[in-house]
């Protein structure tokens, strides 16, 4: 779990730089302009202050969402299903992004807390990738029993999709455009999981992670992959 939390901290730093940090810088710049506007055009200045207030509220929501995903206390107290549902609720509240959660409780009961934490961060990464890049109307998160000893996690969206081969090439080169895939693969490996991504431009995206619960299941899973 220490590795997972460290990766989550790095992700938080990137997200803060890309989101709230730029928003705060923009607010400072616009406030400076608004101060000069007050003398020349009080009405326009008042309208700008209202917009700045809205931006401040939105930025506050984004920061709260990021802090939640860094270490969701509900994960430790109530488990994976409750944590994912809370994340989905915050996605709607913060970004107006619909996320449907369909998790089989019998599946989560087979997972030790450490694995639940890793799976939460896999879901968080996949959902955020879909929100940022897919322009999806809705995102679906599913976790169920696939076969004895193996769970299947799926994150599906009905967004714009992408060419998997191009992103895979970027991943092999470890370019910045493939950070999402890098994080998904590394986190899947922490649970000895098998990651598959299916997508086509205009056809949405399906992220699947097959999660073995035993060493025997892991051997069976990865042996089947090598035979393909």
pLDDT value of residue 19: 74
- The Cα 24–Cα 179 span in angstroms is 25
CA 133 vs. chain centroid, Å, equals 11
The model's confidence at residue 12, banded by pLDDT at 50, 70 and 90, is low
Write out pLDDT tens, residues 174-209: 545 556 788 899 889 999 999 999 999 999 999 999
Angular region, 206: left φ>0, alpha ψ -120 to 50, beta rest: beta
CA-nearest of 228, 226, 193 to 212 is 193
Structural domains in the chain, CATH included, are 1-71 (1.20.5), 77-227 (3.30.565.10)
pLDDT value of residue 115: 93
Helix (H, G, I), strand (E, B) or coil at 30: helix
The model's confidence at residue 173, banded by pLDDT at 50, 70 and 90, is low
Q: Which residue has the tokens 């810088």?
A: 25
- The neighbouring-strand residues paired with 199 are 205
Q: Please answer whether residues 185 and 218 qualify as being in contact, where contact means their C-beta atoms are separated by less than 8 angstroms.
A: no
Write out pLDDT tens, residues 79-130: 999 999 999 999 999 899 999 999 999 999 999 998 999 999 999 999 999 9
CA-nearest of 83, 86, 84, 102 to 94 is 86
End-to-end Cα spacing for the chain: 31
pLDDT value of residue 130: 94
Ramachandran angles phi, psi of 109, nearest 5°? -65, -15
The model's confidence at residue 172, banded by pLDDT at 50, 70 and 90, is low
pLDDT value of residue 221: 87
pLDDT value of residue 171: 55
**Which has more pLDDT, 228 or 217?**
217
Given the DSSP bridges, would you call strands 205-212 and 150-157 parallel, antiparallel or unpaired? antiparallel
pLDDT value of residue 149: 95
Write out pLDDT tens, residues 14-61: 666 677 788 888 888 888 889 888 988 989 989 999 989 888 888 888
- The Cα 228–Cα 224 span in angstroms is 7
- The Cα 87–Cα 77 span in angstroms is 15
Ramachandran angles phi, psi of 208, nearest 5°? -125, 135
Q: Please answer whether residues 138 and 98 qualify as being in contact, where contact means their C-beta atoms are separated by less than 8 angstroms.
A: yes
């Amino acid at each position: 779990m220490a590795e997972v939390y460290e990766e989550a901290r790095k992700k938080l730093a990137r997200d803060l730089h890309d989101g709230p940090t730029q928003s705060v810088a923009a607010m400072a710049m616009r406030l400076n302009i608004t101060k000069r506007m007050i003398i020349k055009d009080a009405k326009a200045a008042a309208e700008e202050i209202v917009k700045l207030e809205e931006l401040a509220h939105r930025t506050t929501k984004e920061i709260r969402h990021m802090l939640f995903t860094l270490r969701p206390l509900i994960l430790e107290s109530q488990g994976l299903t409750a944590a994912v549902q809370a994340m989905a609720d915050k996605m709607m509240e913060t970004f107006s992004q619909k996320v449907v959660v369909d998790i089989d409780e019998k599946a989560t009961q087979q997972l030790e807390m450490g694995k639940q934490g890793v799976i939460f961060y896999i879901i968080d990464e996949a959902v955020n990738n879909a929100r940022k890049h897919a322009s999806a109307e809705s995102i679906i998160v599913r976790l169920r029993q696939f076969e004895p000893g193996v769970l299947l996690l799926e994150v599906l969206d009905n967004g714009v999709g992408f060419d998997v081969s191009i992103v895979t090439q970027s991943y092999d080169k470890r370019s910045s455009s493939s950070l999402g895939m890098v994080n998904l693969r590394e986190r899947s490996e922490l649970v000895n999981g098998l990651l598959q991504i299916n997508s086509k431009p205009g056809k949405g995206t399906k992220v699947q992670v097959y999660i073995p619960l035993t060493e025997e299941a892991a051997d069976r899973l990865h042996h089947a992959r090598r035979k393909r």
